[in-house]
Structure 1
Amino acid sequence: MIRYDRHGEVATVTFDRPEKRNALTLDGLRSFREALDRGAEEARAVVIRGAGPAFCAGDDIASIAGLGDDVAPGTLATRLYDALFGPEQVEVPVIAAVDGPAYGGGFEIVAAADLAVATADSTFALPEATIGAYPPYAVARVGEACGRKRLLELALTGDPIDAATAAEWGLCNRVVDDGGLDDAVDELTDAVCAVPEPAVSLVKRYVRAASADPDERARLVEGFSAVAAEPDCLAAAERFVAGDE
C-alpha cells in the first residue's frame, strides 16, 4: 500500500490504497517509515502523496482491531510513533502534497511534514477521540503551529477544517486550485534542493531540537496502553468498526 519512486533528487512516497481512502494498516505504518528512511538516503527531498480522492484517512481501525490480541498496544504505539514522527526525524525536507481528506494519522503526517501544499477542497480532521483513541503527534506538536485552544478544538470535537483554515492556522504553507498542486510542489522541491545539503540538515536538526523530548515514545506507548484498557474507549472503537464494515 506504500509506493516509492525517485526521479532525480526527489523521492515520492505515495499512500496507494485508494479503495480504503489510503487508511494505514499496521504493516502500512512500518512500510511508510521505511520509505521515508529510504528517501532520506537516496534523495534531497521527499514528497508524500495520496492515490485517488483522499490523501490519507489515518489508521485502518477495522484492520488493526481485527488483529485482536495478536498485537499489543505497545506494538501499535511504536509503529505509530515511527510513522507519525518520521517526517520530522529524517534529515531531508519532507513535503506533503494534499489533495482530499487528511484525517487522523493522515492529518498528523501533514503536520509533521516540513512543508505542506493543499488543494482548496482538501479537509483536515482529528477524529481519534471520538472513537476512543487520541492523536499522539498532534497533542505533542500541533499546538506549536496553531495554538493550544485550536488544537483542543480539533482533538476534542473531531470536526474537520478546510484547507483555507488549515493555512490560516499554520498547518499548511500554500493552498492551490485544482490542477495547481504539482506546480506548487515542484516549486518547493526545486527551492529546497538548491540549498546546500549540510545547511538543510542543520536547519531541520535545530528546529527539531526545540521540541524534542526523549520521553515521547514512552509516553505514547503508555497512553495507548491506557486507552486500550478503558471499556468506554473499546466500545467507541467497536461502534466505529461496526459502522465501517
Structure 2
Amino acid sequence: MATPTTLTEQLKFIQFDVANNIARITLNHAPYNVLTVPMMTELAQSIESLNGRGDIKAILVGSAQKTFSAGISLEDSKPDRVFQTLEAFNRVFAAIREISKPLIMVVNGPAIGAGSELVAFGDMVIATPQAKFAQPEVKLGVFPPFAAVMLPQLIGPKKTYELILTGEALTAEDALRLGFVNKVVPEKDLDKTVDDVLAKISEFSAPVLEVTKKVIGSSIGLPLDEAMKKSQNIYLNELMNLQDVQEGLRAVLEKRKPVWKNK
C-alpha cells in the first residue's frame, strides 16, 4: 500500500493532506466531481492509506467544486462497464466502513446519485443550505443499489421509498430534520463549524475514539441482546487494555486534564 506522501504525488482527482492529526480528502474532478472508476480508486486508496495511523484522529471528506458530486459518470454506468463501476464503489464503501477513524463529510453543494450515497457513508455530515441530496436514478431506468439498502436505516423506509421512487431531492434542512445530516450552517460559518467539531474530537484519545466508533458501527442492525454483548466484550477486552483509559481515570482523580499517549 502506498504511503500518504507517495500517494499524494500520484493523485489526479483527489487532494489529500494530513496535518495536525487530521486527514483532509478533497474531491477535485472539475466541474461536477463526477465519480469515475479512477477517481473512486483514488478515494479508496486515500482512505486505506490511513489504516494503522495512530496519529490521525479524524478524516474530512469535502469538495473543491461547487458541486459535492454529481454521481457516477454516464460512461461508467453503461452495461459493459457497470460491474467495474460497482466494484470501485464497493471498494470506497469498504474503505470507509473499515477505517477506524471518525469520518466527517463536508457538503457545500449538490450531492446527486452516487454522490449522495457517498455522503451516507460518513459518520457525521456537516452541510450548508446550498447542499441538496437526491437519488434520481429512477429517471434513468435504474435504481441506487447502495441507497436502497442504507437509507432505510438512516431516514426510515417510507421516506426512502419517496426519495428513490420519485427521484426528488432533499434540501439541507430536510436532511437535517431526518437525521441524514448533523449540522446545517451558513456557508460563511462552515470552516469554523468544521474546525470546532475537529477541535472537540482532537481533545480525546485516538484509540478510545477508534474503539468507540467500532462499537457503534458494528452494533447497527444487530438484535439488542447481541449488540449489548458485543459492546461489553469490546469494552472489557479492547478498551480496558488501553493506557489512555488509566490516564483518563487518573486525571479525574487528580483534577487535571488528561495527557493522552494515544495508546
Q: TM-score, structure 1 length as denominator?
A: 0.78
Structure 2 gap segments, 5+ residues each? 1-12, 223-263
Structure 1 CA distance for aligned equivalents of residues 138 and 213 of structure 2: 30
Structure 1 gap segments, 5+ residues each? 214-245
Structure 2 CA distance for aligned equivalents of residues 31 and 102 of structure 1: 19
Partner of 2:16: 4
Contact 2:77 2:85 in 1 (8 A): no
Structure 1 CA distance for aligned equivalents of residues 142 and 52 of structure 2: 33
Paired letter, 1:89 = E
Residue 95 of structure 1 aligns to a residue in which SS? Answer: strand
Residue 106 of structure 2 aligns to a residue in which SS? Answer: strand
More helix by share: 1
Structure 2 CA distance for aligned equivalents of residues 141 and 210 of structure 1: 15
Partner of 1:226: none
Alignment of 1:57-136 (within 5 A): 57-62=70-75, 64-65=76-77, 69=80, 71=81, 73-136=82-145
Alignment of 1:1-245 (within 5 A): 1-19=13-31, 21-42=32-53, 43-62=56-75, 64-65=76-77, 69=80, 71=81, 73-211=82-220
Paired letter, 2:59 = V
- Are residues 65 and 135 of structure 1, via their aligned partners in 2, closer, same or farther at CA, if it must alter by over 3 Å? closer
Deviates more, 1:86-95 or 1:37-46: 37-46
Contact 1:15 1:55 in 2 (8 A): yes
Answer 1 or 2: higher relative contact order, Cα 8 Å, separation at least 6.
1
- Are residues 59 and 65 of structure 1, via their aligned partners in 2, closer, same or farther at CA, if it must alter by over 3 Å? closer
Contact 1:87 1:114 in 2 (8 A): no
Q: What's the offset of the Cα at 1:141? A: 1.8
Q: What's the offset of the Cα at 1:210? A: 2.6
Give aligned pairs, total: 208
Structure 1 CA distance for aligned equivalents of residues 39 and 175 of structure 2: 26
Contact 1:56 1:103 in 2 (8 A): yes
Q: What's the offset of the Cα at 1:41? A: 4.2
Structure 2 CA distance for aligned equivalents of residues 97 and 118 of structure 1: 6
Structure 2 CA distance for aligned equivalents of residues 13 and 155 of structure 1: 28
Paired letter, 1:143 = P
In angstroms, what is the RMSD of aligned CA positions? 1.9
Paired letter, 2:26 = T
Structure 1 CA distance for aligned equivalents of residues 119 and 62 of structure 2: 10
Structure 1 CA distance for aligned equivalents of residues 153 and 94 of structure 2: 15
Contact 1:39 1:45 in 2 (8 A): no
